[in-house]
Structure 1
Amino acid sequence: MNASAALLLAHSLLMAQTAAPPLSPAAPWAPTARRLTVVLQAPRSAIPHPEVRISPGMGTLLLFDTPVARAELEGEKHFTRVRLAGDTLTLMPSASVEEREELRMTVHFADGAAPASATFRLVPHPTLADRQVEVHRQARSADSLHAELLEKEEELRRLREELARMEAARSLPDGLTGMLAIRHLDETGVRARWNDEQLVRHPRNALEIRSATTYRAAAQVAVAVECEELRGGAPWEARGATLVPREGAALRVLRVWQAAPTAAGIVGHFIVEAEATDTMSPGPYTLTVWTGGDKRSVILGNLMFP
């Protein structure tokens, strides 16, 4: 081989190495760490249990952020090794695991917080095993769960009362007869009070407030507000409200009503109705009404009821 031929061969080999595609940084079955989050679920929750893939002869390591007291494994005979050490669980499936479509494993945590346990679906695959799984548990204390339970029970009680009122109202006549039948009116009728003289308007109200009139009957109070001159933005529609006295607990708002959203150049009005109590004071009260999705609120202070 002469010098020219050798030089040409060396150049060809160099170009072939340069043009060769780079090696894949990792095979698709290369071990990677996954992260799962375990949260407290309702007993009949439809949320599926988290999935962990396992493969014959490949170890799967589950690392928990909470010590585990014990693990219950369905079909343990399909595993050559199941070892629990504090917050680490090692699973080594045998070849027979391929006979199963899915296995269940439940771990029980050792600290007494909720959730007390977590269930996983072990799904066999020929090669794509989860070699390392980090399990994060969103723990809840007993006091936190008790407080949430009391809140839900109170909400359920209010909904039941509201449902009972709605069902009772369906069988009652309308107008004054209906109000008298359910004792929303007594012998004093409906008393009204004009609040314009002492009314305090918040300087950043979304609406220009013309007037506010308060009403009181046997079981309800109401504030009727007349407004105009929307201050910029989209039309304003009352969605929620609070009625808070200077001292004591806020009244329970029953409904917020508005005939139509208030737009620029249109005079509108809305009504906030709340539950009256035997011990409620005549005032002063602060009414806050807001629209949905933003902070464009209307705040009126120094409201007095008759």
Structure 2
Amino acid sequence: MHATSSVVLLWLSLMAGGAAAQGNLVSGNGARRIELGPDDSGVLTEIAVSPGLSTVILFDSELAQEGIALEGRHVFSNVDVGRTTMRLVPSERGTSGEKLRVSVRFRDGAAPAGASFLLTIHPARADSLVEVYRNARTVESYQQEAREARAETLRCQEENARLVSEHDVPGGLAGLLATGGIDVNGVAGRIVTKTVSSDSKSAPQPFQVQSYRSTGRVALEVSLMGLRGDLPWTASGAALRGPPGTELKVLRVWQKSPVTSGAPGRVVIEAEASTESARGSFSLKLWEAEGPRTVTIGNVTFP
């Protein structure tokens, strides 16, 4: 009875919303496009990079190898510059929110002669592929961008419809039934505290982890403690990554109260996942809105 009550309470809290909500989600496999005009040599465009994640910048013109300048090169574990490409992988030495400038110069000398970007370190998000155009684009390129824009518009419409539908339905268990969050099989729960692994650098540290799965959704309940320092910690975002190329869409992050040096805290994460996509081992990364402190938990499994 106790386990059943815990499951119901968790999903009631998910339906109720919370103090800290998940913001924009990690983008999918679509490339980000940057267009450079003839006078854009001095324009700084931000590109998100993250420790351990690869960011590839693809140029439509050949680079002058001697004209490449990268601030804080020691922060990167891998810097690979090709004829028209640049691959960057930050290491853990980078600080969340740190901004590093990278400049390139093009070999042909046409306008613009070069380009500069501001690499912003994020604890879990990165622009995986950035395409930089400085010359006239083909019709096919514009058509591809139009297709991506339509797909993004459809995604936003679906997300808006989901939020509207959740707002219009009753709360609690009735709301879960109304939105199809559960079926006759209910919600399956599992205590995974003993099987997960945590990064020793995490601040704070997890001391209890429980996973749940229902129809089309998974959730994690993570209890944290052991925060060092006087500043409280509140999760503002989360990433759930599985096998290579697999990342679940996080719908919300809920935390009732901050974790402090003297008081533990509980974070609830909800994500979209079919029975198939929820299989295997996942890693969870939580980060705060302002500051470098993150929590990383590995070997997370769902019922």
- The TM-score, its normalising length taken from structure 2, stands at 0.52
Q: Which residue identity does 1:227 align to in structure 2?
A: L
Retained in 2: the 8 A contact 1:37–1:138?
no
Distance 1:171 1:146 in 2: 37
Alignment partner of 2:291: what SS? Answer: coil
Post-superposition offset of 1:148: 4.9
Query: Which structure: larger Rg?
Result: 1
Q: What does the per-residue CA deviation read over 1:155-174, in whole Å, with 9 as the maximum and x for residues that have no partner?
A: 32222111101222232111
- After superposition, where does 1:20-35 map in structure 2 within 5 Å? none
Of residues 282, 288, 303, the one that matches 1:291 is 288
**Aligned twin of 1:187:** 184
- Whether 2:174 is the aligned partner of 1:177: answer yes
Distance 1:289 1:166 in 2: 23
- Whether 2:234 is the aligned partner of 1:237: answer yes
Post-superposition offset of 1:38: 6.4
**Aligned twin of 2:198:** 201
Q: Which sections of structure 2, spanning at least 5 residues, go unmatched?
A: 1-37, 42-132
Alignment partner of 1:260: what SS? Answer: coil
Q: Which residue identity does 2:232 align to in structure 1?
A: P
**Aligned twin of 1:253:** 250
Of residues 36, 39, 44, the one that matches 1:37 is 39
**Aligned twin of 2:212:** 215
Post-superposition offset of 1:281: 3.9
Relative distance call for 1:251 and 1:195 in structure 2 (3 A) is same
- After superposition, where does 1:261-272 map in structure 2 within 5 Å? 261-272=258-269
Compute the RMSD of aligned alpha carbons. 2.6
Distance 2:159 2:195 in 1: 34
Q: What does the per-residue CA deviation read over 1:205-254, in whole Å, with 9 as the maximum and x for residues that have no partner?
A: 01121111001011210011000121336321111111111345211111
Retained in 2: the 8 A contact 1:38–1:138?
no
Alignment partner of 1:162: what SS? Answer: helix
Q: Which residue identity does 1:264 align to in structure 2?
A: S
Sequence identity of aligned pairs in percent? 33
Distance 1:268 1:275 in 2: 24
Q: What does the per-residue CA deviation read over 1:84-118, in whole Å, with 9 as the maximum and x for residues that have no partner?
A: xxxxxxxxxxxxxxxxxxxxxxxxxxxxxxxxxxx
Alignment partner of 1:251: what SS? Answer: strand
- After superposition, where does 1:38-77 map in structure 2 within 5 Å? none
Distance 2:197 2:163 in 1: 35
Distance 2:240 2:168 in 1: 30
Q: Which residue identity does 1:141 align to in structure 2?
A: R
Alignment partner of 2:181: what SS? Answer: coil
Alignment partner of 1:37: what SS? Answer: coil
Q: Which sections of structure 1, spanning at least 5 residues, go unmatched?
A: 1-35, 40-136
- The TM-score, its normalising length taken from structure 1, stands at 0.52
Relative distance call for 1:294 and 1:193 in structure 2 (3 A) is same
Post-superposition offset of 1:146: 5.5
Alignment partner of 2:185: what SS? Answer: coil
Distance 1:277 1:192 in 2: 16
Deviates more, 1:267-276 or 1:285-294: 285-294
Q: More relative contact order in 1 or in 2 (CA 8 Å, sep 6+)?
A: 2
Distance 1:242 1:140 in 2: 37
Q: Which residue identity does 1:284 align to in structure 2?
A: S
